[in-house]
Amino acid sequence: MSNIVKKRFFRSINASIQSILVILTFIPFYFMLVSSLKNNAGITANYFGLVFPIRWSNYAQAFSRVIYYLYNSVYICGISLIGVIILSCVSSFIFAKYSFPGKNFLFYFYLSFLMIPGVLTLIPQFVLVVNMGLMATRWAAILPYIAFGQIMFTYILRTFIEGISGDLFDSATIDGANPFRIFFSIVAPLAKPIITSLALMNFLGNWNDFIWPLLVLRGETMKTVTVGLYSFTDVQQTQYGLLFAGFIIASVPLIVLFTLNMRYFVEGIMSGAIKA
């Protein structure tokens, strides 16, 4: 067997394995989509096929409830993301390009909070929120998300800014640019893919959070998507068709968000944003 034939053979094997893995990856999504069009009896009768009549009403019922959860999730994740981006950009720029007493100690002390498991901070964080009078308000979720989300954001963004040539900053300073002009004219355009990739991961992490919103958000009108979908599970019986329809509706904003920003996300990954 010649080398060319061997290469073609192994490429075929590799392509076959990858195709099988892709199919296996999409099986859960297919099952969720098909199950969202059936009731419990239909799911039991045929797990992977459609059962007639198709229950499009599952989506109407699920949407009437999920729309409020989507609003809460978008509001909380959006406001917290804006806060994280603003604070992280300011702090990373200062840590990267300015010198002041105790800078390294302060930065590593700031970074040490990443070593603390999130579950250990639940009780102190909960007590703090209660003492601040924020319970049963959206700020009880927004402020902790901002506080903890900016740590990794700042660390990675600072590493990137330090890699930018100092000649660019010196030239801008000589031309009379202030720090804000320097950041928005030099740092922001260069760091746009990294900021976008970090913002997407931050948004996704807050969107999928379950424990903290369950603790601090009270009432049906305050629930986020993850907590709201959990309430679809009834004490006596779970309507799986309705639940799966809610899953699909709740995933649409994330699909749209990643689709619109996928180019920047990939650029941020390729440029070493996650290497740190």
Helix/strand/coil (H/E/C) assignment for every residue in the chain: CCHHHHHHHHHHHHHHHHHHHHHHHHHHHHHHHHHCCCCHHHHHHCCCCCCCCCCCHHHHHHHHHHHHHHHHHHHHHHHHHHHHHHHHHHHHHHHHHCCCCCHHHHHHHHHHHHHCCHHHHHHHHHHHHHHCCCCCCCHHHHHHHHHHHHHHHHHHHHHHHHCCCHHHHHHHHHCCCCHHHHHHHHHHHHHHHHHHHHHHHHHHHHHCCCHHHHHHCCCHHHCCHHHHHHCCECCCCECHHHHHHHHHHHHHHHHHHHHHHHHHHHHHHHCCCCCC
**Predicted model pTM:** 0.80
Per-residue tens of pLDDT for the chain, all 276 residues: 566 767 777 788 888 888 888 888 888 888 888 888 888 777 777 777 777 777 888 888 888 888 888 899 999 999 999 999 988 888 888 888 888 888 888 888 888 887 887 778 888 888 888 898 888 888 888 999 998 888 888 888 888 888 777 777 778 788 777 878 888 888 888 888 888 888 888 888 889 888 888 888 887 788 888 888 877 776 667 777 888 888 888 888 888 887 777 676 666 555 554 444
Q: Hey, where are the domains in the chain? A: 57-270
Residue 274: predicted pLDDT: 44
Going by C-alpha positions, the residue among 213, 82, 227, 226 that lies closest to residue 138 is 213
Going by C-alpha positions, the residue among 64, 257, 226, 65 that lies closest to residue 141 is 226
Residue 161: predicted pLDDT: 82
CATH number of 57-270: 2.30.40.10, 3.90.1150.10, 3.40.50.460, 1.10.3720.10? 1.10.3720.10
Q: Are 40 and 239 in contact (CB under 8 A)?
A: yes
Residue 157: predicted pLDDT: 85
Longest dimension (CA), the chain: 76
Residue 48: predicted pLDDT: 78
Residue 275: predicted pLDDT: 46
Phi/psi at 233 (5° precision): -80, 110
